[in-house]
Structures are given as C-alpha cells and as structure tokens.
C-alpha cells in the first residue's frame, strides 16, 4: 500500500481539513509542522518518510474563490523528483509539468462536461466525492465506469480530519464490485490499524494528512505497510 500525504491549500497556506466544512479550516499548526507554509509542510512530510507522491487540493479553486496556480507550479519546480496529484476543481485538458497529475473531482463536474474527460485519455485520477447526503456531482461518474481511469479515489468528505476512521463499507463495496481498479481511500484514516484494514480489502493507496500531522502514523508504520 502506498501512503500519499495530503496538502490542502487555502488563502495561500496549508490548512487543517475537518469534516468537509471548508469555511472553518484553519492554518496547520501540528506536532509535525508548526508552519502552514507549503514548502515547510512538504519538507516535514519528507522528514517522516521518502514519499514519492503527494496530493494537493486547491480549495480556493475547488470552491470558485481564486486559485493557487502559481504557488503549486512553484512547488512542482522545487520538488521535481516528486509526483503531485492536483485537485483544483474543474479542469480541462492542457499541457502540464511532468510531475503534475490532475485529480478530477466529481463534485466539480456536471453531466454536460463529462465528454471532456476523453481529452485526458485516462491520464488523470478520478475522485468520487461523497458528502453527508451522498454522491456529489454528476451521477454518471458514479455509475458509468467507462469514464474511470485506473486509479479512483473514494473521498468521504465528512470523515476528513474527523477521527472517525475510514469509510470501510463503501470502500469494501467498490473493491468487490470493480476488482480491476486501484482504489484510493480518502477521509478519516487515524492509525496503522485503519491502514491494515483497508489493505485487507484490497485498497492500494491511502490519502493521509491528520494522522501524519498528529504523528499517530509515523515512519515505522509506513515502512511496514509499504512492504506488505
């Protein structure tokens, strides 16, 4: 299993995501990193483990309140050896740096925009986003797997930063129904036991932020999980 650190950007800094209520997210100040500067946060994560992949969510872009395009490009240039999965809301296909992989979140797509996904030639990560009331965005993204690339995030937004644990039942259903896909768990992961439970389901990747910042998942746990 691959652990992928998460960086949520809002108003120029890294914030602590909690239960999907983005208006209340505050700048990171954690046992791992006292600074909310994105470069400091990346380096703090790398001090824990030699991660190869990072996930960045541009919350301003996702909510239609500006964007962090220039800052994200600076991060990509500063860490060319890393791959960054970038969710910046609705995206059209365009040339990007080699270490940029677009994340297309269902919450930002309407049915009439789905034809544009063909332009990516499956070279993207799909995020199937769930809120408290169920799926977010175009229903067709959840029911028509022809749109899906190889890697699919199952994002339970109300569990993000909640300490509730991952949405095991939802992930188990996806892994059972679509064994040919690589599913990425997102939301609620607390400790290594959560990771082991997800791994037993067949989940291949996990997005983690709060547990890394709180140091409930550290280098030893990540190393052991990576070997399994």
Q: What is the pLDDT of residue 132?
A: 86
The pLDDT tens digits of the residues spanning 124-161 come to 999 999 988 899 999 999 999 999 999 999 998 877 75
pLDDT for position 19: 60
Q: Using pLDDT thresholds of 50, 70 and 90, give the confidence band for residue 5.
A: very high
Amino acid 20: pLDDT:
58
Three-state DSSP string of the chain: CEEEEEEEEECCEEEECCCCCHHHCEECCCCCCCCCCHHHHHHHHHHHCCCCEEEEEEHHHHCCCCCCHHHHHHHHHHCCCCEEEEECCCCCCCCCCCCEEEEEEHHHCCHHHHHHHHHHCCCCEEEEEEECCEECCCHHHHHCHHHCCCEEEEEEHHHCCCCCCCCHHHHHHHHHHCCCCEEEEECCCCCHHHHHHHHHHCCCEEEECHHHHCCCCCHHHHHHHHHC
pLDDT band at 25 (very low <50, low <70, confident <90, very high): confident
Per-residue model confidence (pLDDT) at position 24: 74
- The class of domain 2-227 in CATH terms is alpha beta
Asked if the model's pLDDT at residue 188 lies above 90, the reply is no
pLDDT tens profile 34-87: 999 999 999 999 999 999 999 999 999 999 999 999 999 999 999 999 999 999
Q: What is the pLDDT of residue 166?
A: 84
Report the mean per-residue pLDDT for the chain: 93
């Amino acid at each position: 299993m691959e652990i992928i650190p998460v960086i949520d950007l809002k108003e120029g800094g890294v914030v602590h995501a909690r239960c999907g209520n983005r208006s209340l997210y505050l700048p990171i100040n954690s046992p791992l990193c006292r600074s909310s500067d994105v470069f400091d946060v990346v380096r703090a994560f790398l001090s824990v483990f030699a991660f190869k992949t990072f996930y960045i969510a541009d919350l301003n872009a996702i909510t239609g309140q500006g964007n962090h395009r220039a800052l994200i490009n600076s991060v990509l240039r500063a860490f060319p050896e890393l791959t960054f999965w970038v969710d910046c809301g609705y995206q059209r296909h365009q040339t990007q740096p080699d270490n940029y992989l677009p994340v297309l979140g269902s919450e930002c797509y309407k049915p009439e925009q789905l034809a544009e996904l063909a332009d990516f030639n499956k070279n993207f990560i799909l995020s199937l986003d769930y809120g408290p009331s169920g799926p977010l965005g175009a229903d067709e993204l959840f029911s028509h797997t022809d749109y899906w690339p190889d890697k699919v995030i199952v994002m339970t937004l109300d569990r993000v930063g909640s300490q509730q644990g991952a949405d095991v039942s939802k992930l188990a259903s996806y892994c059972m129904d679509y064994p040919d896909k690589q599913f990425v768990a997102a939301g609620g992961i607390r400790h290594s036991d959560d990771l082991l439970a997800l791994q037993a389901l067949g989940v291949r990747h996990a997005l983690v932020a709060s547990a890394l910042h709180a140091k409930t998942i550290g280098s030893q746990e990540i190393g052991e999980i990576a070997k399994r």
